[in-house]
C-alpha cells in the first residue's frame, strides 16, 4: 500500500561519485559522501543532496526527476541507468561493498564528473538514420488515415527519451565504435514502422548494406536491459532485419541475410546450432554443399586464427563443433514444431509492450511492461502490419526467418 511506501524513515546511504575536472589537469578520482534519505528515493535525489549540502561543483545533468527528460543517464554500480529511476535501496543492494557507485556513462567521452559528450556519439548516430519523416505524397488535407495498431506499435520506439543508457553499454559499439547502435536504430524503426513514411525500402536497404548497420548487432541484450523506458532497442533492430529480409527481400552484401538463413536452417535441421556448418553456409550457400564454394573456403581461411584461439582457450569443443550436437529425436521434433507453428502463421507476430494483445482478465499473467523494471520482454504480441487484436503468443526466436 502507498501508506507503507511513504512511511519508511530516512536512512544513511554512502555514495561514491566518479569525479573529473577537465581544468585541473588531474586524473579522475572517487569522491564519497554520506546522505540521508528514505530508501525508496532515487539515486539522483541522493546526488542532489550531496550537491546541495556538501559540494555544489558536482556535475550532473538532470531536470524532470521522473524519467522522462532523459538527462541523468549514468552508471550505477557499473550498470547503465537513469539516476532518477534507480531507488537507493536497490542501488545499495547491488553495490559490491554497500557504497553506491555512480560513474558517467560508457562509450562516450566524459566532459566533467557525470556529464558525457552525447553530441560526439549519440546524436551523431541519430543523425545517421535520416531522423525525420519523409511523408508520403500528396499530403492529405486532414490526417493520414493509418491503422490504430500501427501508431500504438511505433509508440514503443517513440517512447525513447534519448538518455543514452543503451549506447553506454552497447558491446558491439565498444568493439566497433562506428556501429550505428541501439538508440539510433530504434529511432530508424520509428520511421520504417510508420505507414506515413515514403522511404521504408530505401531506409532498410541503406541500413542493411551499411556494414555498421542492422547486421552489426550481436544480440547481446545489453540494450534491452539498459533501457529505462522498455523501448527494447535490440527488438527494434531485429524487426528491421525481419522486414528487410522477409518483406523487402533485401540480400545485403554484408551477408547478414544469408547468415540468418543459415543459422535458422541449421537449428531447424539439428535442433541446436552446428558451428562448423554455420560459416561455410553463410558464405557459400545455405546447404550441405556450401562448404565447397570458393567464398566459403576464403572465409574459413580468414577465420582460422579466431577458430584456433577459441580452441586454445577451450571455448570450442572440437567434436561438437565439427559433428554437431545430437538431440534425441523427440526433442528435435519439438523444435521443428516451433518452426511449423511460427512459419505457418499468415502474419508475423511482433513483440510490443504497448499492445498487450489480451484484455483485463484477472487470471492472465501480468504483462511484462507492468511488472518488469529492466525492459524484460512481455508475452504480448501483435502483427507487424496491424489490424485486429492478436492472441497471446510465445516470443519469437530471434533471427527466425518466419
Partner 1 sequence: MPSHDVLIIGAGLAGQRAALAAAETGASVAIMSKVHPVRSHSVAAAGGINAAISVDDDWRSHAYDTVKGSDFLGDQDAIEIMCSEAPKEVMDLEHMGVTFHRNEDGELDLRAFGGASMKRTAYVADITGQALLHVLYEQLMKHHETVERYEEWFTTSLLQDEDGRCCGVVARDVRTGRMEVLKAKNVILACGGAGQAYKPTTNGLIVTGDGIAMAYRAGAPLMDMEMVQYHPTCLVETGILITEGARGEGAHLLNAEGERFMEKSAPNKMELASRDVVSRAEQIEINEGRGVGPGGSGIFLDVTVVPRKRTLEALREIVNIGKDFAGVDITREPIMIRPGQHYIMGGVKTDVDGATSVEGLYAAGEVACVSVHGGNRLGANSLLDTLIFGRRAGEHAAARAAHMSSPSFDAGTQLRRDESELEAIIARSRDGRRVSEIKNELGETMNKHAAVFRDEAGLQGALETIGRLKEETAKAWIDDRGTVFNQDVLGALELGYMVDCAEATVLAAIERKESRGAQYRTDFPERNDEEWLKHIDISRGKDGPEISYSPVTITQWQPEERKY
Q: Interface mask (CB under 8 A) for partner 1, residues 357-376, using x and -?
A: -xxx------x-xxx-x---
CB of 186 to partner 1, least distance (A): 12
For partner 1, the binding residue among 16, 28, 37, 64 (CB under 8 A) is 64
Please name every residue paired with 103 in a beta bridge, in sequence order, or none if there are none.
75
Point out which span in 127-135, 215-223, 285-293, 392-400 binds partner 1 (CB under 8 A).
127-135
Helical H segments across 244-365, by residue range: 256-270, 275-284, 294-312, 318-323, 329-343
Which whole-number Å values give the CA distances from 183 to 189, 209, 226, 370, in the listed order? Answer: 10, 19, 11, 22
CA–CA gap between residue 113 and residue 51 (Å, rounded): 12
84 or 244: CB nearest partner 1 = 84
For partner 1, the binding residue among 10, 32, 40, 175 (CB under 8 A) is 40
- 239 binds partner 1, rule: CB under 8 A: no
21 or 209: CB nearest partner 1 = 21
Q: Which residues contact 397 (CB under 8 A, 6 or more apart)?
A: 264, 267, 338, 342
- 52 binds partner 1, rule: CB under 8 A: yes
CA–CA gap between residue 232 and residue 278 (Å, rounded): 27
Please name every residue paired with 18 in a beta bridge, in sequence order, or none if there are none.
30
Q: Which residue has the cell 543459415?
A: 262
Q: Interface mask (CB under 8 A) for partner 1, residues 149-188, using x and -?
A: -xxx-xx--xx-xx--------------------------
70 or 290: CB nearest partner 1 = 70
- 131 binds partner 1, rule: CB under 8 A: yes
7 or 340: CB nearest partner 1 = 7
103 or 257: CB nearest partner 1 = 103
For partner 1, the binding residue among 200, 356, 383, 390 (CB under 8 A) is 356
* Long-range contacts formed by 211-216: CB under 8 A, 24+ apart: 211/254, 212/176, 212/178, 212/179, 212/180, 213/180, 213/185, 213/254, 214/180, 214/185, 214/240, 214/241, 214/244, 214/256, 215/241, 215/252, 215/254, 215/255, 215/256, 215/259, 216/172, 216/176, 216/179, 216/180
Element (H, E) at 102: strand 100-103
CA–CA gap between residue 221 and residue 233 (Å, rounded): 9
Point out which span in 46-54, 92-100, 253-261, 300-308 binds partner 1 (CB under 8 A).
46-54
Bin 29: left if φ > 0, else alpha if -120 < ψ < 50, else beta.
beta
Quick check: 185 and 237 in contact, CB under 8 A? Answer: yes
CB of 79 to partner 1, least distance (A): 16
45 or 396: CB nearest partner 1 = 45
For partner 1, the binding residue among 118, 223, 238, 393 (CB under 8 A) is 118
CA–CA gap between residue 199 and residue 136 (Å, rounded): 8
Residues 67-96 that bind partner 1 (CB under 8 A): 67-71, 85, 87
CB of 228 to partner 1, least distance (A): 9
For partner 1, the binding residue among 103, 194, 210, 257 (CB under 8 A) is 194
Which whole-number Å values give the CA distances from 344 to 287, 334, 349, in the listed order? Answer: 22, 15, 11
- 36 binds partner 1, rule: CB under 8 A: no
CA–CA gap between residue 233 and residue 170 (Å, rounded): 11
- 329 binds partner 1, rule: CB under 8 A: no
75 or 187: CB nearest partner 1 = 187
CB of 44 to partner 1, least distance (A): 10
For partner 1, the binding residue among 57, 287, 341, 374 (CB under 8 A) is 57
- 21 binds partner 1, rule: CB under 8 A: yes
Amino acid at each position: 500500500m502507498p501508506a507503507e511506501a511513504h512511511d519508511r524513515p530516512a536512512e544513511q546511504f554512502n555514495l561514491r561519485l566518479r569525479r573529473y575536472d577537465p581544468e585541473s589537469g588531474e586524473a579522475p578520482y572517487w569522491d564519497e559522501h554520506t546522505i540521508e534519505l528514505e530508501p525508496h528515493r532515487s539515486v539522483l535525489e541522493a546526488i542532489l543532496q550531496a550537491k546541495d549540502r556538501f559540494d555544489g561543483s558536482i556535475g550532473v545533468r538532470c531536470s524532470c526527476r521522473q524519467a522522462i527528460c532523459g538527462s541523468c543517464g549514468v552508471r550505477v554500480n557499473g550498470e547503465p541507468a537513469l539516476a532518477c529511476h534507480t531507488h537507493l535501496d536497490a542501488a545499495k543492494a547491488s553495490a559490491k561493498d554497500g557504497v553506491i557507485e555512480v560513474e558517467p556513462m560508457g562509450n562516450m567521452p566524459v566532459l566533467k564528473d557525470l556529464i558525457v559528450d552525447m553530441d560526439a556519439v549519440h546524436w551523431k548516430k541519430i543523425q545517421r538514420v535520416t531522423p525525420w519523416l519523409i511523408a508520403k505524397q500528396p499530403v492529405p488535407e486532414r490526417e493520414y488515415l493509418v491503422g490504430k495498431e500501427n501508431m500504438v506499435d511505433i509508440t514503443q520506439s517513440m517512447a525513447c527519451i534519448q538518455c543514452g543508457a543503451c549506447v553506454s553499454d552497447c558491446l558491439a559499439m565498444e568493439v566497433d565504435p562506428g556501429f550505428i547502435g541501439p538508440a539510433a536504430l530504434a529511432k530508424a524503426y520509428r520511421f520504417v514502422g510508420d505507414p506515413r513514411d515514403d522511404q521504408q525500402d530505401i531506409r532498410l536497404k541503406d541500413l542493411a548494406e551499411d556494414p555498421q548497420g542492422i547486421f552489426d548487432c550481436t544480440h547481446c541484450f545489453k540494450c534491452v536491459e539498459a533501457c529505462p523506458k522498455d523501448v527494447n532497442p535490440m527488438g527494434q533492430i531485429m524487426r528491421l532485419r525481419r522486414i528487410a529480409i522477409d518483406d523487402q527481400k533485401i540480400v545485403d552484401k554484408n551477408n547478414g541475410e544469408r547468415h540468418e538463413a543459415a543459422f535458422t536452417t541449421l537449428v531447424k535441421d539439428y535442433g541446436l546450432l552446428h558451428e562448423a556448418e554455420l560459416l561455410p553456409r553463410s558464405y557459400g550457400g545455405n546447404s550441405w554443399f556450401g562448404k565447397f564454394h570458393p567464398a566459403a573456403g576464403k572465409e574459413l581461411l580468414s577465420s582460422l586464427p579466431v577458430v584456433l584461439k577459441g580452441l586454445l582457450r577451450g571455448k570450442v569443443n572440437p567434436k561438437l563443433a565439427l559433428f554437431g550436437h545430437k538431440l534425441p529425436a523427440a526433442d528435435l521434433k519439438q523444435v521443428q514444431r516451433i518452426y511449423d507453428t511460427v512459419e505457418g502463421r499468415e502474419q508475423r507476430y511482433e513483440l510490443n509492450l504497448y499492445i498487450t494483445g489480451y484484455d483485463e482478465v484477472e487470471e492472465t499473467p501480468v504483462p511484462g511492461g507492468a511488472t518488469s523494471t529492466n525492459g524484460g520482454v512481455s508475452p504480448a504480441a501483435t502483427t507487424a502490419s496491424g489490424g485486429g487484436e492478436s492472441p497471446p503468443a510465445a516470443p519469437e526466436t530471434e533471427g527466425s526467418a518466419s
